[in-house]
């Protein structure tokens, strides 16, 4: 690991040195986990506690125990809005964007990132696999000030003529490169090893592996007959992440890709292994969250969430969906929103949005907007019953209901998750009365209010 002075000289290219001194402590470059264990309270941490409406001391305890993470690269400057993810915090939403070899339009990906943040995403991940990935990543990072994530192995694989041609150093070089660029959290499939592959061989899975990062790792292992470098050299990986205080998101390589594969032994084998890796992260002072399924029927979501929470000792849980049916092509954002609400109610902390394009194509800007809104509805629905957030979330619903009672349309619009669309629909067929055009003068709220006013 390089000396602190060298890291600070490098970081001056990205942010104010005084800010680095104030926030992270140059003398030891302690991570937020290590600072929390010592009771150190950076100013920005108090701002997060206020945003989450939790006591600062409670937030620090949760971070020190690994039950809350705050993805924030040490190179981040003051123009950044960190988010707390985990127990007692608001349910957060992530938006995936990025190019593919079939469609490379950097300007459109930048617009997607801007739209995702505008409509309430708490984080953005760049999953680009086509074009100049370093350039794309840096351009997207410039337009967002919320936590930014990547899947480093995508770039490692693209840098080689064939995926299987990567050497073990390639796995780690790209992690360090992206950490130096200021990436806040990274999905890394460190839970894949020979034991889990053998479990997969013996399974009767219909779709096998649907995780792209997991498939790259498994393909490399089988071709080279070597252990997963991220698993075998996990301590070295943690050294790189710790140096920049990057949060690791332990990827679920074996997440079920269809309802038929849900809740099988392959998935639960990975749960256990990820739980062991979480403990090693905590010992190393590295923030860690865990990713989960996938495609799961309604009645199995609670079991999956609680099992993952148990084996990881309440590590923050990051879910894609889960999708509750396989037949919603074109409407998978709705299928995922249903599953995410149940998962959030059961204890999931971080929802990865799904767009209408899921399983069909690279999403458009409008798809991104719809995906973020659907996921935010799920997140708020979960917060209405979530420990630590129930009272705060219900105040918002109360305020909107009060505005509805008073036929206060501007207030209703301002409190809605998507004010623009609400206003657009209301204006589309505006009533001549002060009610909406569904009922007009026969509005139930209006009629009863007038009746009571007269008597």
Domains of the chain as residue ranges with CATH: 4-69 (no CATH), 86-390 (3.20.20.540), 420-454 (no CATH)
Per-position DSSP letters for 406-420, written without gaps between them: TT-HHHHHHHSSSHH
d(C-alpha 176, C-alpha 239), whole Å: 10
> Is 66 within 8 Å of 313 (Cβ atoms)?
yes
HSE on the CB side for 143, CA within 13 Å?
20
Q: Show Cβ contacts of residue 169 under 8 Å, excluding neighbours closer than 6 positions.
A: none
Closest CA to 130 of 103, 109, 160, 164: 103
Phi/psi at 186 (5° precision): -135, 135
> Is 314 within 8 Å of 298 (Cβ atoms)?
no
d(C-alpha 114, C-alpha 408), whole Å: 30
Q: Is the peptide bond before 294 cis (omega within 30 degrees of 0)?
A: yes
d(C-alpha 421, C-alpha 355), whole Å: 17
The reported pLDDT for the residue numbered 14 is 41
> Is 368 within 8 Å of 95 (Cβ atoms)?
yes
Closest CA to 82 of 138, 25, 148, 20: 148
> Is 296 within 8 Å of 255 (Cβ atoms)?
no
**Kind and range of the H or E run holding 222:** helix 212-224
The reported pLDDT for the residue numbered 29 is 76
CA dihedral 336, 339, 343, 348 (to 10 degrees): 0
Write down the H helix ranges in 66-105. none
d(C-alpha 257, C-alpha 209), whole Å: 7
Closest CA to 124 of 151, 150, 142, 148: 148
If DSSP codes are grouped into helix, strand and coil, which group holds residue 199? helix
Phi/psi at 81 (5° precision): -115, 90
Closest CA to 195 of 254, 240, 261: 254
> Is 252 within 8 Å of 209 (Cβ atoms)?
no
Closest CA to 203 of 275, 257, 274, 278: 257
Is the pTM higher than 0.85? The answer reads: yes
pLDDT in 10s for each residue of the chain, 455 residues: 444 444 444 444 344 444 444 444 333 479 999 999 999 998 899 999 999 999 999 999 999 999 999 999 999 987 899 999 999 999 999 999 999 999 999 999 999 999 999 999 999 999 999 999 999 999 999 999 999 999 999 999 999 888 999 999 999 999 999 999 999 999 999 999 999 999 999 999 999 999 999 999 999 999 999 999 999 999 999 999 999 999 999 999 999 999 999 999 999 999 999 999 999 999 999 999 999 989 999 999 999 999 999 999 999 999 998 999 999 999 999 999 999 999 999 999 999 999 999 999 999 999 999 999 999 999 999 999 999 999 999 999 999 999 999 999 999 999 999 999 999 999 999 999 999 999 999 999 999 988 998 87
Indicate the burial class of 422 (C-beta count within 10 angstroms; 0-12, 13-18, 19 or more).
middle
The reported pLDDT for the residue numbered 6 is 44
Going from the C-alpha of 125 to that of each of 27, 94, 110, 297, the distances in angstroms are 31, 7, 12, 26
């Amino acid at each position: 690991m390089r000396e602190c002075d060298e890291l600070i000289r490098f970081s001056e290219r990205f942010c104010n040195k005084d800010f680095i001194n104030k926030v992270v402590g140059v003398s030891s470059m302690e991570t937020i986990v290590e600072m929390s264990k010592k009771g150190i309270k950076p100013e920005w941490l108090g701002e997060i506690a206020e945003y989450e409406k939790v006591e600062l001391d409670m937030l620090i305890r949760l971070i020190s125990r690994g039950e809350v993470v705050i993805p924030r690269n040490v190179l981040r400057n003051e123009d950044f809005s960190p988010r707390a993810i985990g127990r007692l915090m608001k349910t957060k939403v992530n938006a995936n964007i990025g190019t593919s070899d079939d469609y490379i339009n950097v300007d459109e990906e930048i617009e997607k990132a801007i739209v995702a943040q505008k409509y309430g995403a708490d984080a953005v991940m760049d999953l680009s696999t086509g074009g100049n990935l370093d350039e794309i990543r840096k351009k997207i990072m410039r337009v967002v000030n919320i936590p930014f994530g990547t899947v480093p192995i995508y770039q490692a694989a693209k840098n080689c003529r064939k995926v299987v041609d990567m050497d073990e150093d390639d796995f780690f070089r790209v992690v360090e490169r992206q950490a130096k660029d200021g990436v806040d959290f990274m999905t890394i499939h460190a839970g894949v090893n020979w034991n889990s592959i053998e479990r997969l061989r013996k399974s009767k899975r219909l779709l096998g592996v649907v995780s792209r990062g997991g498939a790259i790792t498994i393909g490399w292992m089988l071709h080279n007959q070597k252990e997963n470098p991220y698993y075998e050299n996990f301590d070295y990986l943690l050294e790189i992440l710790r140096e920049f205080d990057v949060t690791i998101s332990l990827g679920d390589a074996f997440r079920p890709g269809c309802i038929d594969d849900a809740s099988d032994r392959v998935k639960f084998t990975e749960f256990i292994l990820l739980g062991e890796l979480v403990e090693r992260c905590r010992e190393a002072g590295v923030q860690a969250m865990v990713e989960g399924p996938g495609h799961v029927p309604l009645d199995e979501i609670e079991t999956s969430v609680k099992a993952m929470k148990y084996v990881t000792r309440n590590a923050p849980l990051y879910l894609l969906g889960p999708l509750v049916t396989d037949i919603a092509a074109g409407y998978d954002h709705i299928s995922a929103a249903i599953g995410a609400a149940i998962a959030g109610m059961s204890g999931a902390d971080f929802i990865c949005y799904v767009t209408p394009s899921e399983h069909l194509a690279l999403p458009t800007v409008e798809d991104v907007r719809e995906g973020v809104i659907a996921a935010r509805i799920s997140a708020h629905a979960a917060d209405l019953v979530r420990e630590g957030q129930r009272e705060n979330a219900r105040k918002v619903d109360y305020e909107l209901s009060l505005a509805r009672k008073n036929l206060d349309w501007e207030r209703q619009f301002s409190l809605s998750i998507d004010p623009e669309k609400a206003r657009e629909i209301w204006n589309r067929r505006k009533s001549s009365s002060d009610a909406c055009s569904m009922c007009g003068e026969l509005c139930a709220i209006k009629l009863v209010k007038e009746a009571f006013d007269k008597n």
